[in-house]
Structure formats: structure tokens, C-alpha cells
Amino acid sequence: MAVFILRRVALGFVALLGVLVVTYVLVHLAPINPARQYAGAHATAEQLAAARETLGLNKSVPVQIADYAKNFVSGNWGVSLQTKRSVLTDVRTTLPYTIELVVLSMSVSFVIGIPLGVLSAKRKGHTADHISRVVSVALIAIPTFWLALGLQYVFSGTLHLLPLSGAYSYEVVLDNPIIPITGFPLVDALLAGNFTAFWNHVVHLVLPVLALTGLSLGSIQRLTRASMLEVLDEDYILASRSYGLPERTVLWGHGLKNALGPLATVSALTIAWLLVNTFLVESIFAWPGMGNYMVSAINTLDYPVILAVTLVSAISYLMLNLLADVIIALDPRVRLRT
């Protein structure tokens, strides 16, 4: 197992280096002048030269990549060309908002998708099973941006039940601001006893979480159903029923427990996918997360931000992919190939 994990970690570092090189080269091939962006549109020649020196643009590209990798590991992620703030500080501010969306989205998917998958497997071939399968396929097929816009139109534009965008109301920002403690707004509001801001933030979370839940909910429901159908045909399930155990115990105790292996693996990969694909939802709902931060950087070709966020996303994906590999390896039926 140790050799297996070390090999996966080594491959992850190689993949991460590839991401850095490709991203760095592509960004520097774009028709931009980073020194001009950093120094300003009316900068003098001396100011442009100083900016190039500060950004390290006078060095060759391989040296720039090596310097950036060393600085990234040490926590120096550069300065945004537009805001002049530390990129690491901005990522620390925006990433918790994205994590909130992903964690809540996956929680909703688990709470709804797993029971639906179990019941669909139990009622295989019946009307409830057909309806559940149609709904899951529809959720997977519906584009995320279309679902987000539809939710905005119905619940905000038509019914006026939920806010259209943002993470807080202006009144909360002015009168009951959340004091950063952990960086996660929900946790910080609870720790400070700021329940006004907490509930206001929860209300603003509803629509973006629902928009992000569509794909993961459909996938989890279908995978749970497929795994349960396979498990329910096993001999030990038939034996449990022959002993007169309640059907609830057979389904939820013996069946679901043994069907969770594939589900845990796919869930880790789904979380990784959501982390790097929240930009559409965050842009539509003006959510102050890392995805929206990345979109703004792309629009202005702010290359230090693009590089840092790309690497953070790649690291997150690789770590969760490693977690999925470890979960698979824990299954005694799987033979590791190191």
C-alpha cells in the first residue's frame, strides 16, 4: 500500500509540473504586456523596466517557471496585476466560499440521491424506478448554467422568494458584517453569534447550491442504484432475507453498507470536478468564490492569478483523485498494481 501511494504521489507531482509548464507557456503566449498591466497604462519606460524586473520577466521562460515553482511552494504566489494584492491572500479569501458551495452541494446530493438510489433499486422496473431514473438523467443532461438561470428566473424573478445573487444583503454587510475567524462565513457567523448574517448567508446560498447539485445528485442516484442492484443479487442478501430479517435491515444495513465502496470513489472525483467547475455558477450568482475570481482574472489576463488558481485547482483534483485511489485500494477484492 505504501509503495502504491508513493507512486501515485510521484505521478501527481509530474502531472502538477506539466500543468504549471503548459499554463505558464500559454499565458505568456497571450497578447498581453504584464509589465504594462502592472505599471499602468501611462507608465514611463523606466517604470516599465522596473515592472519587468519586479515580475522577473527579464529572465528566460524556463528560469521564470523554476522561480515561480520555488516561490509557490514557499507561499509567494505573486501579486495581482489588477488589484495589486497578494494572490495568496485573495485565494484564502475566496476559496472558503467555493468550498461552502461544494460541501453543501454534495451534502444535498447524498441526503437525496442515496435514498432515491436505494428505493429505485428496491422497486426495479416499477413506476417509481422509472421516474427516478428519468429525473436523474435529466439532472445530468441539463447544463449547469441553464439550471442556474432557470432557478434565478423562477425563485427570484417570478416568485421573489430568494435573492438573485451575491453572498449577503447590503444591510447585513453594513449593519452585521461577519468578522473573519476561520474564513468560512457560515462557521464564522455561528462562532460570533451573528445569527442575522448567518441566516442571510444561508438564504443566499440556496440557489447556487441547488444549481451546483444537479449533476452530482443525478450521478450519485444512478451509481447508488447500480451498486445496490449488484449487491442485492449476492448470496448473503438472500440468506439475510431467508432468516427473516426486516427488509429495512437488509437494504440499509447489509445492502447499502456494501454498495458504498464505488459510491465513495466516485464522490471523491465528483467533489474534485465541482471544485474546478464552479466558475459558471459563481459568475451567474456573483458569488465571491475562487471560480468567480478566476473568471475576472481571465477577463483581464491577470496571469499571476490564473497561474495560482490553476495550480490550486490541479492540486485539489490530484489530492482527491489520490483519495479515490486509496479508497479503491482498501477493497480487499482489488489487486494493487504498483
The DSSP secondary structure of 102-142, one letter per residue, reads HHHHHHHHHHHHHHHHHHHHHTTTSHHHHHHHHHHHHHHHS
Write the DSSP assignment of 157-171 as a string of letters: IIS--S-SSSSS-HH
Q: Are 308 and 27 in contact (CB under 8 A)?
A: no
How many structural domains comprise the chain? 1
Task: Look at residue 43 and tell me if it is in a domain.
Answer: no
Whether residue 336 is predicted with pLDDT greater than 70 in this model: the reply is no
Q: What is the pLDDT of residue 255?
A: 79
- Candidates 241, 214, 55; CA nearest to 142 is 214
Q: What is the pLDDT of residue 87?
A: 92
* pLDDT interval class at 11 (50, 70, 90): confident
How does pLDDT run across 136-161, given as a tens digit for each residue?
888 888 888 899 999 999 999 899 89
Helix (H, G, I), strand (E, B) or coil at 217: helix
| Range of lowest pLDDT (191-205, 253-267, 288-302, 306-320) | 253-267
Task: Look at residue 37 and tell me if it is in a domain.
Answer: no
Q: What CA–CA distance (Å, rounded) separates 325 from 261?
A: 11
Task: Look at residue 53 and tell me if it is in a domain.
Answer: no
Whether residue 204 is predicted with pLDDT greater than 90 in this model: the reply is yes
Grid coordinates representing 75?
507561499
Q: Would the CA dihedral through 323, 326, 330, 334 be positive or negative?
A: positive
Q: What is the pLDDT of residue 332?
A: 60
Task: Look at residue 192 and tell me if it is in a domain.
Answer: yes
Task: Look at residue 201 and tell me if it is in a domain.
Answer: yes
Residue found under cell 448554467 = 145
Task: Show the domain range for 252.
Answer: 108-288
Task: Look at residue 193 and tell me if it is in a domain.
Answer: yes
* pLDDT interval class at 81 (50, 70, 90): confident
Query: Between these two residues, 192 and 57, which has the higher pLDDT value?
Result: 192
**What is the 8-class DSSP label of residue 153?**
I
* pLDDT interval class at 171 (50, 70, 90): confident
Highest-confidence segment of 53-67, 213-227, 278-292: 278-292
Query: Between these two residues, 322 and 309, which has the higher pLDDT value?
Result: 309
Q: What CA–CA distance (Å, rounded) separates 231 from 165?
A: 43
Q: What CA–CA distance (Å, rounded) separates 195 from 22?
A: 46
* pLDDT interval class at 334 (50, 70, 90): low
Span 173-187, average pLDDT: 88
- CA distances to 233, 246, 256 from 250, rounded to whole Å, are 12, 6, 8
Span 189-203, average pLDDT: 92
Whether residue 338 is predicted with pLDDT greater than 60 in this model: the reply is no
Task: Look at residue 305 and tell me if it is in a domain.
Answer: no
- Candidates 288, 99, 277, 90; CA nearest to 187 is 99
3-state secondary structure 236-266: HHHHHHHCCCCHHHHHHHHHHHHHHHHHHHH
Instruction: Find the CATH number of the domain harbouring 202.
Output: 1.10.3720
Q: Would the CA dihedral through 108, 309, 82, 24 be positive or negative?
A: negative
Q: What is the pLDDT of residue 174?
A: 84
Q: Are 13 and 316 in contact (CB under 8 A)?
A: no
Half-sphere exposure of 179 (CA within 13 A, CB side): 5
Helix (H, G, I), strand (E, B) or coil at 233: coil
Query: Between these two residues, 135 and 244, which has the higher pLDDT value?
Result: 135
Predicted TM-score (pTM) of the model is: 0.86
Q: Are 264 and 110 in contact (CB under 8 A)?
A: no
Whether residue 127 is predicted with pLDDT greater than 90 in this model: the reply is no
State how far Cα 55 lies from the chain centre: 30
* pLDDT interval class at 98 (50, 70, 90): very high
Compute the residue count for the chain. 338
Task: Look at residue 73 and tell me if it is in a domain.
Answer: no
Helix (H, G, I), strand (E, B) or coil at 53: helix
- CA distances to 40, 74, 198 from 81, rounded to whole Å, are 9, 20, 33
| Average pLDDT of every residue of the chain | 85
Q: What is the pLDDT of residue 335?
A: 55
Write the DSSP assignment of 79-101 as a string of letters: B-TTT-SBHHHHHHHHHHHHHHH
Query: Between these two residues, 332 and 282, which has the higher pLDDT value?
Result: 282
Whether residue 186 is predicted with pLDDT greater than 70 in this model: the reply is yes
